[in-house]
Amino acid sequence: MKDPRQRPGPTTADKGRQLWNPGRSGRMKAGLVGLSSAAIVSVYAVGYLHTSASEPSGVVAALPTANAVATVAPPIVTTKSSGQGTLPGAPATATPRATSTPKSGTTSSTAAVYKDGTYVGVGTSRHGNIEATVVVKSGKIVSAEISGCGTRYPCSKVSGLPGQVVARQSASVNYVSGATDSSKAYAGAVTQALVQAKA
């Protein structure tokens, strides 16, 4: 990367950036990993503010303060230097601590409300289109199947569930990193179907 000293003089934008980037000029940079870790902690502590079926756009529907404060757990990983990784001694059947999910008014599934019915959506990819049929019962999605496959590759190869496909085809990996055009087509098809289903 270029030596910062060789850059032209700071613009207003640069000066603004320095307000939130005090580490830039020194050797003790927080680093991107540290920055992202801090972001996770601070945003998680705030909880969900926007996701709500009945909330009009632009309005922040804050969770009841008492609920949010009482149920955000104290830092669990105080003995660890990073926020990730296996908790020492965590049993496989660990009971999750309560979080800021509101106690009433919303179900434990997705916040959006769907009308019961069967909906079809189509997603496009350069390999061809993928059609998905989504079934909603009691306001919840019970299935989202590929109902049509116009792709040149067999649909089993181009489904939106690459991990499952690979696991079926080979015992060597659990998942494959990297999106495919066709997995996006499947997601696009389901998204389109759900647009119709939203109350």
Partner 1 sequence: MSVGAASAAVRYHVAMDTTISVEVPGVSSEATREAIDRAFRWFDEVERVCSRFDERSELRELCAKPGEPVVVSELLFAVLSFALQVAGESDGVFDPTVGAAMTRAGFDRNYRTGERVAAGEQGLATFRDVVLTPETRAVTMLRPLTLDLGAVAKGFAIDLAAKELENYANVAINAGGDLYLRGVDAQGGHWRIGVRDPHDFDSLAETFILDGRAICTSGDYERRDALLDEHHLLDPRTERTARACASATVIAPTAMVADALATAAFVLGPASGIAFLEEQGVEGMLITPAGKRFQTSALQEFIA
Question: By CB under 8 A, what part of segment 173-192 binds partner 1?
Answer: 173-181, 183-184, 186-188, 190-191
- Asked if residue 104 binds partner 1 (CB under 8 A), the reply is no
Three-class secondary structure of residue 140 per DSSP: strand
* Short-list 107, 121, 114, 110, CA closest to 137: 114
65, 94, 105, 154: which one contacts partner 1 (CB under 8 A)? Answer: 94
The site that binds partner 1 (CB under 8 A) totals a number of residues, namely 89
Cβ proximity of 136 and 142 under 8 Å: yes
Closest CB to partner 1 among residues 19, 66: 19
Cβ proximity of 130 and 182 under 8 Å: yes
- Asked if residue 17 binds partner 1 (CB under 8 A), the reply is yes
Q: C-beta of 136: minimal distance to partner 1 in Å?
A: 9
- Asked if residue 70 binds partner 1 (CB under 8 A), the reply is no
Q: Which parts of 25-44 interact with partner 1 (CB under 8 A)?
A: 31-33, 35-37, 39-44
For residues 79 and 143, give the distance between their C-alpha atoms in angstroms, rounded to a whole number: 42
- Asked if residue 54 binds partner 1 (CB under 8 A), the reply is no
For residues 111 and 88, give the distance between their C-alpha atoms in angstroms, rounded to a whole number: 33
- Asked if residue 51 binds partner 1 (CB under 8 A), the reply is yes
50, 103, 115, 137: which one contacts partner 1 (CB under 8 A)? Answer: 50
Cβ proximity of 95 and 179 under 8 Å: no
- Asked if residue 162 binds partner 1 (CB under 8 A), the reply is yes
Three-class secondary structure of residue 119 per DSSP: strand
